[in-house]
Amino acid sequence: MQSLVFTLSPGLELCKVIERMAPEGGVFTLCDSNTASLVYPLMTQDCPYLNNNTLIVTPAGDENKTLAHLSHIWEELQRLGATRHSLLINMGGGMVTDMGGFAAATFKRGMRCVNVPTTLLGAVDASIGGKTGINFGELKNEIGVFAEAESVIISPIYFNTLRKEEFLSGYAEMLKHGLLQSSESIHSLLAKDATRLDNQEMLELLRNNISVKQKIVEQDPTERGLRKALNLGHTFGHAFESWHLKSGSPVPHGYAVAWGLVCALILSHMHLKFDATLLRDVAKYVERNYGAPQLRCSHYNELVDLMRHDKKNVNATHIQFTLLKAPGKPETGHEAKEDDIKITLDLMRDLMHV
């Protein structure tokens, strides 16, 4: 099982983890071009095992999560003399932990790795649960394996250099976890001004929030059933994300997820009687912090088509959703008719004043 370390002194904790793991083949670090300058120098102060000679830097941005850059990481590991007994530290957002996790899982048939997520989205989602991989042939996360990092060092101290949109994007996944956990959990997240939390408050929030994903992943590591609950808001969300991308105005993943959560709760209200007051509260919070997608009725068919082609849909004629009966009570594999999806979009526009 993946060990999670929550700390305000990540360098010291990383040092202890490395000492415990005692890698015989040396310690290597993967950063992207941003975390190499913003995070790595802070960590080296407290952790002498990190060494500039074994730092591998890959260009920042999801568009660089490619075979060419993965190949460069393998080449660097080889050139620097890494062995199967070495340790790779993936220090960055989800792009770095996805690609670094895959590089570690495949180099010399697998070396151990530790994740140090440096974005909120990375901390609450991407660095946990063992999904690793790269984009391929224009498809996201097309090639990869399930391979958990042995340890994940989670700390909010890096988040103050994140752009506000990056931070809020991660907070949307926290709202998703809150909804999957309990009424108390989602209400407490909605009561906070996400961008004004201090480090100690954020650390406690992370500890509780990440346990939601961790518990689900423990029960269903390879997404055969229960793990699909984590797709809450993502069928609509991926459609909004692709639609924005195609129209030349991309939005951060978490913004699309936040809008997707509102739609999933509307559908949950229609099909499973999810509480209308909580639905309104979530919609209000989302509108205030993330705005709303500027949809018109004439866009609905395109969105439905995008949902049909979402790779999470086993059968393209029936679009599947994860819905909620109530906070903490997800139902996966719920099918909805095209008409219900369009009514949902109508109601979302009403609720969010589009």
Ligand X SMILES: NC(=O)c1ccc[n+]([C@@H]2O[C@H](COP(=O)([O-])OP(=O)(O)OC[C@H]3O[C@@H](n4cnc5c(N)ncnc54)[C@H](O)[C@@H]3O)[C@@H](O)[C@H]2O)c1
Establish if 32 lies at the interface with ligand X (CB under 6 A). Answer: yes
Establish if 268 lies at the interface with ligand X (CB under 6 A). Answer: no
Establish if 23 lies at the interface with ligand X (CB under 6 A). Answer: no
- The torsion of the CA quartet 221, 222, 223, 225, rounded to 10 degrees, works out to -80
The contact pattern for ligand X, residues 166-205, with x = CB under 6 A and - = no contact, is x--x------------------------------------
Establish if 118 lies at the interface with ligand X (CB under 6 A). Answer: yes
Identified binder of ligand X from the candidate list 61, 81, 110, 250, rule CB under 6 A? 61
Identified binder of ligand X from the candidate list 12, 15, 25, 62, rule CB under 6 A? 62
Question: Do 283 and 351 form a contact (C-beta atoms < 8 A)?
Answer: yes
Of 3-11, 120-128, 295-303, 311-319, the window that binds ligand X (rule: CB under 6 A) is: 120-128
- Tell me the closest approach of the beta carbon of residue 162 to ligand X, in angstroms: 5
- Tell me the closest approach of the beta carbon of residue 339 to ligand X, in angstroms: 31
Indicate the helix (H) or strand (E) that contains 28: strand 27-32
Q: What tokens appear for 331 in the block?
A: 């139902």
| Residue 304 CB-density burial (10 A; 0-12 exposed, 13-18 middle, 19+ buried) | middle
- Which residue has the closest beta carbon to ligand X? 94
Of 95-103, 106-114, 282-290, 299-307, the window that binds ligand X (rule: CB under 6 A) is: 95-103
Identified binder of ligand X from the candidate list 113, 126, 189, 282, rule CB under 6 A? 126
CA 153 from centre of chain: 16
- The torsion of the CA quartet 266, 269, 270, 276, rounded to 10 degrees, works out to -90
Q: What tokens appear for 170 in the block?
A: 């991660």
> DSSP states of 319-337 as a string?
EEEEEEEETTEEEEEEEE-
Which one-letter DSSP state was computed for residue 166?
Answer: H
CA distances for 97 relative to 31, 80, 255, angstroms:
9, 20, 21
Between 119 and 344, CB nearer to ligand X: 119
Between 169 and 209, CB nearer to ligand X: 169
Establish if 129 lies at the interface with ligand X (CB under 6 A). Answer: yes
Name the nearest CA neighbour of 351 among 302, 298, 299, 278.
278
- Tell me the closest approach of the beta carbon of residue 13 to ligand X, in angstroms: 17
Binding site for ligand X (CB under 6 A): 32, 34-35, 38-39, 60-62, 65, 92-96, 98, 118-119, 121-122, 125-126, 129, 131, 140-141, 158, 161-162, 166, 169
